[in-house]
Chain A
Amino acid sequence: MGIFAGLSTAYVMGAFAFQAIALGFIGLDARCQARRMLWLLLTLFTGPVGLLVYFLKGRN
């Protein structure tokens, strides 16, 4: 396995951390225009892509 085990663990932990921060951010963001639930679902299913779209289109 070599460093693979370490890399995969770090990746999975990083993925969870990213999603938690992204969803938490959208959920609590005061500058969210509307349809917060929709943005949350988009980010849940598309991760960084959803967050990027939210930054570009979803904030005041």
Chain B
Amino acid sequence: MKKSKSVIRSWAVAAAMIMVLAGANLAGAASIPQEVEELRLKYERLYQQYTQALSDAKSSTAAELGKEVELAKRRYEEARKALTPSQKTQEKIKETAETVKNTVDKLFSSGDKNETPTAVASKELPGYSDFKISIDGDNYCGQFAMTSVFNGMGIAKDPQKIYQDTNPAGIFTGPPTIVEYLNMNGIDASQKHNASLGDLTRKIDAGLPVVVLMNSGGGVPHWVNVYGYNTDAEGKVVSLKLRDSYWGTSKGYEMDVERFKTAWNDPVGTKLPNSLLGYSNLMIDIKGTREPAQSPSALNFNFNTAMEDNMSSGINDVVTGFKRIAPMQLAGGITKCVLGIPGTVLGVTAKGINKLGDMTVDWGKSRLDKGGFGNTLLGGTAVVGGSVVKAVGYVAKASGNLLSGVATMAGNFTKKLGYVFAR
């Protein structure tokens, strides 16, 4: 009886939803047609070619493709705009759907309260999906994500100001630069390396947004603000809600969890030189609002990625300090780059050693799988040898991180002096 009641209720909800959606279609809220989808695909394809040309250092091809990408993006957005129902219509549809669902639920809600819900659940922080962010220039994903976070947490910020403060040259913004700017503008943030999907959802459940580094295609790192997620009937995350300067420019974008995990796990790809930045599952952990920091923190780095942090923040400080004519920021960047030389050499060498160790272990395992005395002896030796090589790599990496950490502290301290003198 209970089961049949549940089935009837499900059918009733589904039928009501279909009716509402059909009504919405008649009212002009058409689903995205083939033409828009084609324009989107064209835009994405051109963007991938563009990023590929950039990573291959083909500047003339990249410049031409850049123009084509801009045009394709404009055409796609115009087509999408023409088809998207107005805000008012969207709200009305949502409201009607909710009313129908509640009415049906009330009609069939006698008794079975503990029944597992079959509908997909959704968690979303308010104020993120529809906020308009307008920013000009290239490579502004970090600034876009920061603007989204600032706005969502009730701090009014002009994206152009963030752009000028943190990335006036339009290059990749390193994680320490993002963390530093957030801390100095009223948001308590730090870096978390090798974070899990659970870390992300726990933050959102606590009412806090998250910024993550993803692969936007071809190993190009891209900052994204995650502000919500959807779960299936069993509570498993099926998709995430994002705001960013690529997928979710004008409003929130939902990404399938598997695609998200792949892009999050390997934000820089395996191709040099991007792969020199060994970030993986990196999340900017936002803990809430705070009093704005008066000067940059000397300890703004993560030990696990200290070499990468020193290199990226050193380059960021040199370029931004030069562009903004900020002598102490420039001096801090130079300090990081110069003192970071031994750490970088050790860290990069360690990556090579680790790779060699991995290859030796894999080769050894494949020999072991083949069986036989010779293969077992050879495979076993290779696995042991490879493991020793990997251990050496880990020690070298830790030493590189330690040295880079010292360089970062010295650089940040130099930069800090600029703020002390300015007071």
* A interface residues (Cβ-Cβ under 8 A, vs B): 1-9, 11-12, 15-16, 18-19, 44-49
Contact = CB atoms under 8 A, between A and B. Distances in A.
Nearest to B55: A5
B69 to A, nearest CB: 15
Contacts, number: 77
Interface of B: 54-55, 57, 138-139, 169-172, 220-221, 272-274, 276-277, 311-312, 314-315, 319, 337-342, 344-345, 348, 399, 403
Contacts of B221: 1
Nearest to A5: B273
A4 B172 contact: yes
Nearest to A14: B341
A8 B272 CA distance: 10
Given A8-B277, A15-B345, A2 B339 contact: no
A9 B348 CA distance: 11
Contact of B311 (A8, A44, A46): A8
Nearest to B57: A6
Given A9-B272, A11-B337, A12-B348, A4 B342 contact: no
Contacts of B273: 5-6, 8-9, 12
Given A9-B273, A12-B273, A47-B339, A4 B344 contact: no
Contacts of A47: 338-339, 341-342, 345
Contacts of B341: 15, 18-19, 47-48
B347 to A, nearest CB: 9
A1 B345 CA distance: 22
B139 A1 contact: yes
Given A2-B139, A5-B274, A11 B311 contact: yes
A1 B169 contact: no
A8 B308 CA distance: 10
B171 A1 contact: yes
B338 A2 contact: no
Contacts of B344: 11-12, 15
Contacts of B55: 1, 5
Q: Is the interface of A mostly helix, strand, loop or mixed?
A: helix
Contacts of B342: 19, 44-47
A12 B277 CA distance: 11
A2 B222 CA distance: 12
A19 B345 contact: yes
B116 to A, nearest CB: 46
A39 to B, nearest CB: 14
Nearest to A44: B342
10 contacts: A1-B55, A1-B220, A1-B274, A4-B312, A8-B276, A8-B311, A11-B337, A15-B341, A47-B345, A48-B341
Contacts of B274: 1, 5
Contacts of A19: 341-342, 345
Nearest to A18: B341
A18 B403 CA distance: 16
A24 to B, nearest CB: 14
B315 A2 contact: no
A48 B277 CA distance: 23
A21 to B, nearest CB: 11
Given A7-B315, A45-B403, A1 B54 contact: yes
A45 B55 CA distance: 32
Contact of A4 (B57, B171, B272, B338): B171
Nearest to B337: A11
B171 A12 contact: no
Q: Which of A2, A7, A49 has the most CB of B within 10 A?
A: A7
B171 A7 contact: yes
A15 B342 CA distance: 7
Nearest to A6: B57
The 6 closest A-B pairs by CB, nearest first: A47-B342, A4-B172, A47-B341, A9-B273, A2-B171, A4-B171
